[in-house]
Amino acid sequence: MPETLYGGVQNRRITIRDLQRATDAHERWAMLTAYDYSTARVFDEAGVPVLLVGDSAANVIYGYETTLPVTVDELLPLVRGVVRGTKRAMVVADMPFGSYQASPTQALENAARFMKDGGAQAVKLEGGHRVLPQVEALVNAGVPVMAHLGLTPQSVNAFGGYRVQGRGEEAAHRLVQDAKAMQQAGAFAVVLEVVPSELAREVSAQLHVPTIGIGAGPDCDAQVLVWQDMAGLRRGKAPRFVKRYADLAGVLLGAAQEFAADVRGREFPAPEHVFH
Ligand code: KIV
């Protein structure tokens, strides 16, 4: 009986070898973002094999408009919480803008903080050829690296907005070359964000390491969503690639309103909530 990612690995953390084995066996797998102990525990219990402490924390935790302002110091405590909340999931720490672009040394210093102080098992960084020396330095130092191509939000100002990437022959060719370079440099997986599904299919066919899609169609080896999008905690219009599996904002709103009404009406605390 082959060991599947979901059925087989129960008593230890998922490793990059497990992910590669699942990918080789054409087993699809999921990644979710996580930013705190309590939700990480739930996602770990749900069997989600990889949790990403994304720099999307800039938006969904800290309320910044883009991912650019968030720092290693702001992400580190979130990584620690997610690691403490999990027994099984691989925890990937996202390297924020300005924490790796300057040099391989800077990348290694900050990745080491996420692994030594945070307890993460891997890091993710954005970019293709331009971060090749960083990826090589990290991999040579024994740091598992997840690459991230396509609509890389840290480059939103260079892109002139959040728009589909890799459209047109030249851009598609560049993205394929970037993906191959990342794999060649030793990245264990490549996130493809908001690219045409035909291009994601081609990249997935050309790489042996897993591709992880977000807005990249059904042919990636794995899929990732920001958990607040997946569970409907983020209000407003979601991007087209998001599927909402719950209305958590509605549930929380109702609960908070009911609690406040109970306090106002002296319904809470009731006798069963009181010590004597
Ligand atoms: O920061 C993040 O949440 C991400 C995922 C969307 C891949 O990079």
How far is Cα 206 from Cα 197, in angstroms, rounded to an integer? 14
Whether 93 contacts 125, CB under 8 Å: no
Q: What is the mean pLDDT of the chain?
A: 96
Is the model's pLDDT at 48 over the cut of 90?
Answer: yes
What is the model's pLDDT at position 203? 98
Over the stretch 239-252, which tens digit does the pLDDT of each residue have? 999 999 999 999 99
Taking each helix axis as running N to C, give the angle between helix 104-112 and helix 132-140, from 0 to 180 degrees, rounded to the nearest 10: 50
191 vs 108: CA distance, rounded Å = 20
> What pLDDT does 58 receive?
98
Predicted pLDDT of residue 2: 53
Please state whether beta strands 90-94 and 122-126 pair in parallel, antiparallel, or not at all (unpaired).
parallel
Model confidence pLDDT, tens digit, residues 180-218:
999 999 999 999 999 999 999 999 999 999 999 999 999
18 Cβ below 6 A of ligand 1: no
Q: Is 78 in the pocket of ligand 1 (CB under 6 A)?
A: no
CB 220 near ligand 1, within 6 Å: no
d(CA 104, CA 127): 14
Spatial contact of 202 and 150, defined as CB atoms under 8 Å apart: no
Predicted confidence (pLDDT) at residue 109 exceeds the cutoff of 70: yes
pTM over 0.95: yes
Question: How many A from CA of 31 to the centre of ligand 1?
Answer: 10
Q: Examine the pLDDT at 160 and tell me if it is beyond 70.
A: yes
Of residues 30 and 10, more confidence is placed in 30
* pLDDT (0 to 100) of residue 9: 72
Query: Is the CB of 226 inside a 6 Å radius of any atom of ligand 1?
Result: yes
- Reported as a pLDDT band with limits 50, 70 and 90, residue 1 is very low
Residue with CA closest to ligand 1 atom 8: 54
Task: Please tell me the distance between residue 6's alpha carbon and the centre of ligand 1 in angstroms.
Answer: 22
Q: Which of 74, 170, 193, 202 is catalytic?
A: 193
Counting atoms of ligand 1 from 1, which one is nearest the CA of 191? Answer: 7
Q: Ligand 1 centroid to 127 CA: how many Å?
A: 13
Residue 150 Cβ < 6 Å to ligand 1: no
The Å distance, Cα 105 to ligand 1 centre, comes to: 24
Residue 202 Cβ inside 6 Å of ligand 1? The answer reads no
Is 94's C-beta closer than 6 angstroms to any atom of ligand 1? yes
Of 92, 193, 234, the one to substitute when testing ligand 1's pocket (max ligand atoms within 8 A of C-beta) is: 193
Q: What burial letters (b/e) apply to 29-59, b meaning 16+ CB within 10 Å?
A: bbbbbbbbeebbbebbeebbbbbbbbbbbbb
Residue 8 has pLDDT above 90, yes or no: no
Is residue 108 over pLDDT 80? yes
CA distances from 194 to 45, 94, 129 (A): 29, 18, 19
The amino acid at residue 199 is L
**202: annotated active-site residue:** no
